[in-house]
Amino acid sequence: MTLPAPAIAIRRLSKSYGRTEVLHGIDLEIARGATTCLIGPSGSGKSTLLRCIAFLEEATSGTILIDGQPLGFEEQAAGRRVRLPPQRIRKVRSGIGMVFQQFNLWPHMTALGNVTEALVTVKGLSRQEADARGMAQLRRVGLEARARHYPSELSGGQQQRVAIARALALEPEILLFDEPTASLDPELTGEVLNVMRDLGGEGMTMVVVTHEIGFAATVGQRIVFLDHGRVLLNGTPAELFAAPRHPRLTQFLETYLDRGAAMLLKPA
């Protein structure tokens, strides 16, 4: 019996800024159809890793395979790493959607305009067809009624849901979230997490960098704990959070006692 190929396979991935190496030879496989949460202290490299998967950062060495296809660089027989042509990079990237901490909606376009922009500009759909698809995605995040609003007329939570709809519009295989609720008021995080929970339930492959430990523990099927640019732990929430815990993880969770992680620290 062969296991299905992972959605994302990361091999010996390192990333340096100047002389500072922030990722040290990461090896990681992301399962298809599952929600994987990347957690860890700030500076642990979790956002950098996610940005490498989105190809917003170029790793210094190592490879990333998306659905078996090399992203950005290909390792050749002699161990040399060559940059792939732009069309191939775009092709592989098109299977990945990204949601940012700061939403990054384009302020001069309506919610619908944000969602349909790439459908028209990149995919070449007619305005009518793009609008129909865009409305379907807005419906999915519960914002059909806000389609004609500009980002400045939407709450933070609504903006982030539009950003999720924008990423979904291109029908990606994989959705990446970079601290999607970190810049939201606490009462607005729920609506965004609910949308993400629904997507996870539909079998979307998601990689979520998050500080929402409660979300990670309840929605994440895999938890990857990064520390100082290395994968320290990788397992199911049950495995990771059950006693005996890794001391570094316990130390990290203790900083979260006031964010609903207290339950995880109770003796099993």
Partner 1 sequence: MSFDGSVILAALPAILSGLKVTLGIWVAATALGIALGFVVAAFRHFGPRPLGLALRLAVEVLRGTPFLIQIFLLYFGGPFIGLSLDPVPAGLLGLSLYAAAYFSEIFRAGFLAVPRGHVEAAQCVGLSQAQIVRRILIPEMTMLVLPQCVNMAVILVKETAVLSIIAVPEATAVISALGSQQYAFVESLFLLAVIYWGLVEACGRAGRALETRLSKFRFA
Report the interface residues with partner 1, using CB under 8 A: 54, 56, 90, 93-94, 96-98, 100, 102-108, 117-118, 121-122, 150-154, 159, 163, 166-167, 169-170
Q: Spell 255-266 as b/e; 16+ CB within 10 A means b.
A: ebeeeebeebee
Nearer to partner 1, 59 or 223 (CB): 59
Nearer to partner 1, 167 or 240 (CB): 167
Nearer to partner 1, 17 or 106 (CB): 106
Nearer to partner 1, 184 or 249 (CB): 184
Q: How far apart are CA 68 and CA 83, in angstroms?
A: 16
Q: Residue 98 CB, nearest distance to partner 1 (Å)?
A: 4
Nearer to partner 1, 60 or 101 (CB): 101
Of the candidates 219, 216, 221, the residue with the CA atom closest to the CA atom of residue 252? 216
Q: Residue 199 CB, nearest distance to partner 1 (Å)?
A: 17
Q: Residue 247 CB, nearest distance to partner 1 (Å)?
A: 36
Nearer to partner 1, 103 or 241 (CB): 103
> Using CA of residue 186, residue 192, residue 197, residue 200, what is the dihedral sign?
negative
CA–CA–CA angle 167, 51, 207 (5° rounding)? 60
Q: Residue 225 CB, nearest distance to partner 1 (Å)?
A: 26
Q: Residue 264 CB, nearest distance to partner 1 (Å)?
A: 32
Antiparallel, parallel or unpaired: β 20-30 and 222-227 = unpaired
Angle subtended by helix axes 156-169 and 111-121, to nearest 10: 20
Q: Residue 157 CB, nearest distance to partner 1 (Å)?
A: 12
Q: Residue 159 CB, nearest distance to partner 1 (Å)?
A: 6
Nearer to partner 1, 28 or 163 (CB): 163
